Structure 1
């Protein structure tokens, strides 16, 4: 299937699902999900696979075993290309439109320690600062989970304390529901932004290779 954009019906589907997140709604509209949401996402990620790798297109069902919110379905469709544990490129369609990103969304134990060591290193840490600055200038939001204070073992006045407080590092851009998200142009937009994110993704892969 050739990628031609996400139909308006894909965004409308999630608008309605946010209002009526029930099995009865899903069963009545599962053909809309299959043809207007999942099929275009698969086509998009397949078109990007040669350059970036095979994507995991996430299941639409929520794991509610330990959640207070028992609504059964996710209100977005995401896909992820991994280059390491919890790190790589991301694309999502939901009621607010389409957004893309890249980086690391979870790090703990040895991987988090290795990432902080690389942040603290004068050469590697300054390189990451430059990467993030370039992404911000290109219009990306730098997001991620942050500690309120310095991590254990690092001084509060470390020259890169803002980096060291980050437990996850993500570069994100929202396209919203701009007209191009409904056209084949979206493929070029995602490809270009994932290329812009490659230095961050590569930095994380190198830093957390433990």
Structure 2
């Protein structure tokens, strides 16, 4: 039997309360809840997924506030990724917060050389059309392909015209398949593992 039996209600309650009081005092007082209701079930889920999807590393709960105007110290979610690089990597992504679950696969933000190859493929009639067909096919299965972590360019990228037949995708800086589930009772059961694995 799987050691993962779903996410406890306490996980969603913890992040709801952390959103209301994102302070070191709250964290220190409730760290045992994080360990029991967040970290332990998340590790159990990741261990179930590793054989099929490779190692998934869990994000630290602390936020990097050095270059942010928002100085709240803790993330309002827990998550994991198969990719060590935030920029230039292609991999799986999983996030759980008070509002639900997000899964994804792709490149959230491409490095310049990666972006050059991506745009050349979108520009090409054959591969560009195949990409559009894939996006449409995934949409029919309620799987949206997004532009990743950053907003698309407002204008055409250098070297491409604004009336290019695939200008929408040429303006992207990433490409990732995203599935979002709003919080629901099934997330407290082993069905969660099946849903994530299936996507």
TM-score (norm 2): 0.91
What do residues 4-25 of structure 1 show as CA deviations (whole Å, max 9, x unaligned)? 1111100000000000000010
CA contact (8 A) 1:81 1:90 kept: yes
Residue range with higher mean Cα deviation, 93-102 or 20-29: 93-102
Whole-Å Cα distance in 2 between the matches of residues 52 and 177 of structure 1? 24
Asked if 1 retains the 8 angstrom alpha-carbon contact of 2:82 and 2:92, the reply is yes
8 Å Cα contact 1:5-1:186 kept in structure 2: yes
Q: Distance in 1 between matches of 2:47 and 2:123?
A: 37
1:79-107 CA-to-partner distances (Å, cap 9, x unmatched) read 11239843211111101011211221111
Confirm whether residue 126 of structure 1 aligns to residue 129 of structure 2. Answer: yes
CA distances 1:121-147 after superposition (whole Å, capped 9, x unpaired): 222222211221122111123322311
Q: Distance in 2 between matches of 1:83 and 1:13?
A: 27
> Which residue of structure 2 aligns with residue 102 of structure 1?
105
Question: Cα deviations across residues 144-191 of structure 1 (Å, max 9, x unaligned)?
Answer: 231112110112222211110111112222211121111111111001
**SS of match in other structure, 2:152:** coil
- 1:30-109 map, 5 Å: 30-82=31-83, 85-109=88-112
Q: Which runs of 5+ in 1 are unaligned?
A: 194-210
Find out whether 1:178 has 2:184 as its counterpart. Answer: yes
CA distance in 1, matches of 2:127, 2:84: 19
| 8 Å CA contact 1:142, 1:170 repeated in 2 | yes
1:10-57 Cα offsets, whole Å, 9 max, x none, are 000000000000001001111111111111111111111111110010
CA distance in 2, matches of 1:110, 1:142: 21
Deviation >4 Å, runs of 4+:
none
Matched, 1:29 2:30: yes
- Taking structure 1 as the reference length, the TM-score comes to 0.87
Native 8 Å contact 1:3 1:44 kept in 2: yes
User: Unaligned stretches of 5+ in structure 2?
Assistant: none
The aligned counterpart of 1:154 is 160
Supply the distance in 1 between the matched residues of 2:5 and 2:129 (Cα, whole angstroms): 40
Q: How many residues align?
A: 193
More helix by share: 1
Q: Distance in 2 between matches of 1:115 and 1:175?
A: 29
